[in-house]
Structure 1
Amino acid sequence: MEEEELLAYLTLQRIPKLGDTSIKRLIARFESAQNLLSQKMESLLKLDGIGTLKLKEFFEKEHRLAAEEELKFIQDNKIHCCGYLESEYPERLKHCIDGPILLFKRGSKDYTHQRMISIVGTRKVTSHGIDFIKQFVEDLAPLNPLIVSGFAYGVDITAHRAALDNGLDTIAVLAHGLNQIYPKVHAKYVKAVEAQGAFITDFWSSDVFDRTNFLRRNRIIAGMSEATVVIESAEKGGSLVTADIAHSYNRDVFAVPGRPGDAQSLGCNNLIKTQKAQLITSAADLIYLLNWQIEEDLKPVQKQLFVELSSEEKLIWNYLSDAGKEQLDLIALHCKMPTFKVASILLNMELKGVVRPLPGKQFELT
């Protein structure tokens, strides 16, 4: 984006009570932010929905001065800015009416990744939740998704770390400007995320950090991803807000169930009960429900004559050789293993070319 157009965008962002939706409508009318700000009062008064008090703010010099100061911060810190009309802007976020007109980015990755999922949940994640996230992301790794989260305590940082550990790109969406990191204890992960992903936000460096910022942040997490996965959530919490926003955007929402009565599972169970989220217990469920396909270069050209199988894989192979095609739950029941573990093993066996998935969560030998 050219400097003058960026400055115009920043100026518009500083006009009180002029939100992203209104700015987009006005820019569409005048073709650019610069053209919009160059209009005279008489021209703007003809527009529907723009009151006289709001119009007066267009001509206040203080907004331009604040924009110039923020532009200096952007340039001094080599922050990348992306407008909502540019091709590199996250494609799915373009279709969200309240998506930000500008995204500020620090890091090495762009937003053009095909497979992008958001992982959210409680800040007070349990050891079981941590283990699930690690296994979940590890099992998704062969499909090379980009993992989006909010860099907060608990589920968020666990998801980012799991992505880094498995060589996956990860985007951390912040609820403040790029002049700080919250929580400070996570500063040790900054370099790794910047090298293998990016930090993004629509907040300025001068914006006051407030709890309400998280609600605004959540629309980006929900909007830029193909699906949102909730892993452990109390009855109330920010992850449920993210899930609600994703649901309102007609995006897929998934939730990992927990035992009835467990405080950290109430939110997930309620999402499933109210049909705002689909139940998943493994990465295989997500892959099946999103209809993701294994990349062609990961598929074997022909079935290998001899394939090394682990003891657990051999157990499943022996069962399927006798049973033929069988449902996931029945395979788990017969092999006396948890369903989520069997789903992970079957995914690995699929990559080795010895099993293939069928509709209805069924599997058979190749």
Structure 2
Amino acid sequence: MSNTSAHPPADRSGHLPGPGDGRPPRIAIAGGGLGGLVCARVLERHGLPVTVLERESSPTARTQGGSLDIHPESGQEALRACGLFEQFSALARPEGQEYRLLDRTGAMVQHLVPEDGAEPRPEIDRGRLRDLLLGSLAAGTVRWGAAVETVTPLGGGTSRVTLADGRTEDFDLVIGADGAWSRVRAAVTGVQPWYTGVTFVESYVEDCDRRHPDLARLVGPGSLMAKEGGQALFAQRNGDGRIRVYAAFRAPEDWHAGLDLTDPGAVREYLLARYADWDESLLALVRSGDGGYISRPLHALPVPHTWESVPGLTLLGDAAHLMPPLGVGANLAMQDGLELARALVTEASLEDAVRAYERVMLPRAAETAAACAEGLAHLLPPTGETALHFPEMPGMRTV
């Protein structure tokens, strides 16, 4: 493999030739999440081969989380560029945009629905959206069970990827789309996320309409948030008939010391005690959980998280700008994937493409991450104040 990062201009079909030998560049995307898959799909639509290295053993190796609202200017634009917008629209749930904001007594503070004429932000389960993107890729694009362990720059823009099983392969561009604990980031900035002081504990209620009609009516067709000071309960409709529930609170990262997180009964009793003065209608979200609980401590990267462009390497999504989950992360990752792919099929070289992408992505990410950090502080005040601060929701009106 040649050790030069200068590439001839793309040909008329959008194909960037490889470094000096007439072949397409070898591009690897570490991570098969939404941002990485959007990038791969757009590259393939323009005739550029790509390899997605995914550490999971199969598409069904683990649950993919809850429901996402997909924004017009970012996630929806990415799906249009992928040629998947119609399929997405058939799967999405416009009714899922409704939001109910309550206090700890169960009293409604705000009941929000989209404003007339507002651009829709329909909900879709993350797993269904991922499956849609996976199904659009060429056979063999995603290598399952290929966990990236390290990335080593070799000079001239070439990097060696070492997998967890010891296999190695060289690429002309490695894109880190491998999430919060990105292994690719170590070769770009080496920065690690920090704990925000907030933990989410996730559970779910199956077949809620039939088994728990009172909860179904409480949550409605979209999402519910109840809060008081530094604690909150979130409930979110999913398209498979379940309601996903999150208990959110400020606590040390080792808050569960002495608590067996694999014992659902013990975790349930802990949460019920923590929220003991909340209304029973809300505690039912905790009491009715099916299966176990998952602790999800919220981590974030510094704001801003920036770097000098590194030949042959770049980052997108949480690997680049991990921030509190206030409804923008998945959309930003998809926008990153689209814009990076567009740069790769329009710029004259890989290096030019990465620089053009990072010039736009990094300041946007810094601005959004700062807003999310501020939003988390208002949502769950670290001082324990009891005033109700709910997030602003553009395009929504009170009913």
TM-score, L = length of structure 2: 0.25
Q: Which has the larger radius of gyration?
A: 1
TM-score, L = length of structure 1: 0.27
Higher RCO (C-alpha under 8 Å, 6+ residues apart):
2
Q: Which structure dedicates a bigger proportion of its chain to helix?
A: 1
